Every structure is written in C-alpha cells, then in structure tokens.
Amino acid sequence: MSPTPLLEARGVTMRFGGLTAVDRVDLTVAEGEIVGLIGPNGAGKTTFFNCLTGLYVPTDGAVLFAGTALPPRPAKVTRAGVARTFQNIRLFANMSALENVIVGRHTRTRAGLLAALGRGPRYRREERESRERARELLDFVGLADRERQLARNLSYGGQRRLEIARALASEPRLLLLDEPTAGMNPQETRETEELVHAVRARGVAVLVIEHDMRFIMNLCDRVAVLVQGAKLVEGAPGDVQTDERVVEAYLGAPDDEETPV
C-alpha cells in the first residue's frame, strides 16, 4: 500500500456561473516530491491553487492534507503546513526584506495580541527567534545582504526570492509556487531552479505552476497538464512533453505569447 500523500485533491471543481474553471481534478503530491502543473493560459491552474489554499471554496470535491480535510480558510491552510506564492508578486513594498519574512512567520508564533501589547518576555523571545529565523531564510534564498532594503527596491528576481523566503517562514511541508519564473531572465530562471531543488532538500514538497517547459522538465518528478479546467495528462516529464494531446493543446499558444495575468 502506498503511504498517504501529503496533498490529495479529489475531484476538485470550481464553477463561476456557467464557467467551469476547474473540472473534477484529482492530484496528489507525496512527501518530498516536486510536481509540475502546466497548461495554456486560462486553463484553471491559478484557480486550482486558490481551491487548495482556501481562497476559494470548491464547488465540489475535497482537498486533503496528510489525510485530513483542509478547512477552506487561508490562515488555517497555512497553519496546517501549506504555503504559497502568487502569480503577481504580493509583498509589503514599503517594508524591509527582513520584515516581510518576519510577517510570514507570524502564523507560527504563539504569543498573541495581548503579549504583543504588553511586550512581555514571551513576546520578546518570540520576536528574537523570528528575526533569527527570518535571517536564516534570507540567507537561504540568497538575500542575506539585503535584509534592510525595502522590498520595492529589490530587483525583480530578488522580489520573487523574497516571496519564497516569506512563504517558507510559515514552516510549510508543502510549498505552492504560481509561475515563479514569470518575467525572469535565463540566469534568474536557472537560479530559481536551484532554489526549488534546495527547498525540496529541506524536506518541503513543491507543487509548481510554470510556463517555462525547460524549467518544468529539469525540476519535476511528475507533471500534470490542465486544459480547460480538466486534467488532460499526468506522468513523467519526458512522457508528458512528447504526448500528442499535450502538443496539440499547446499549438497556437506558444510560450512567448503568454502574458501573465
């Protein structure tokens, strides 16, 4: 018997009025696995992520994490051990890199509002630990020398790395990345590839949406293809890449015409 997957989506469906954006999608991610999710623009990839992370309550289906139903509430999903980044960068632009990561950690600290107001010893200890941990994460993503820079003054690639550090600050077991290399140059894309490998080496499983085929093929243990909301194909990267149905789905939508939404 195979062990319980870390993430299991069962028949996840999301309808907006008459539009079925996600159509009965089954997907699993095992502990320590890197799974790719690809598909043409508008295929429902981001909507599927939103269903996994509690931003949307799926019209139908179930999302299980380590065998337990995930409550469709973003804060609860984070606390359960799932973190994400967004297709469009969402950072606190006028906060420093370090502060952005500290905010990402707050789901893990327990002192609470009263302690924070009283600035009691427990609050101070947790703040110190948060700061140390945030520094370690900035170092991990290659931003050790940028901790005091405002997020908005970081390079584009730097902002993307900072988002990953912030997501990791909640100490997830699964990280969801929505187009982490969108808009990156080839050098930044390669660095992101290495970073995702390093994330996995820390014991964090990864589910990644990406258009860059080379990135997906270099990185993923398994790839699923969404087309018009439904899972068309799933398999090893090499098999998926040459699958006729996948090639057909991508015809007329080459990578360089994709514009991030």
Ligand X SMILES: Nc1ncnc2c1ncn2[C@@H]1O[C@H](COP(=O)(O)OP(=O)(O)O)[C@@H](O)[C@H]1O
Judged by the rule CB under 6 A, the positions of this chain that interact with ligand X are 16, 19, 21, 39, 41-47
CB closer to ligand X out of 19 and 198: 19
DSSP string computed for 16-75: ETTEEEEEEEEEEE-TT-EEEEE-STTSSHHHHHHHHTTSS--SEEEEEETTEEPPS-HH
User: Helix or strand or coil: residue 233?
Assistant: strand
Which of ligand X, Mg ion, none interacts with 142 (beta carbon under 5 to 8 A by kind)? none
Smallest distance, ligand X to C-beta of residue 88, A: 11
Q: Nearest-CB residue to Mg ion?
A: 46
Where helices occur in the chain by DSSP H, the ranges are 45-52, 74-80, 97-105, 112-118, 121-140, 156-168, 186-201, 213-219, 237-242, 244-250
Binding Mg ion by CB under 5 A: which of 12, 14, 23, 46? 46
CB closer to ligand X out of 33 and 179: 179
Smallest distance, Mg ion to C-beta of residue 64, A: 23
Identify which range of 45-53, 77-85, 150-158, 187-195 contacts Mg ion by CB under 5 A: 45-53
Assess contact for 63 and 69: CB atoms under 8 A.
yes
CB closer to ligand X out of 46 and 130: 46
Smallest distance, Mg ion to C-beta of residue 188, A: 19
Smallest distance, ligand X to C-beta of residue 113, A: 32
Assess contact for 157 and 92: CB atoms under 8 A.
no
Residues near Mg ion, by CB under 5 A: 45-46, 87
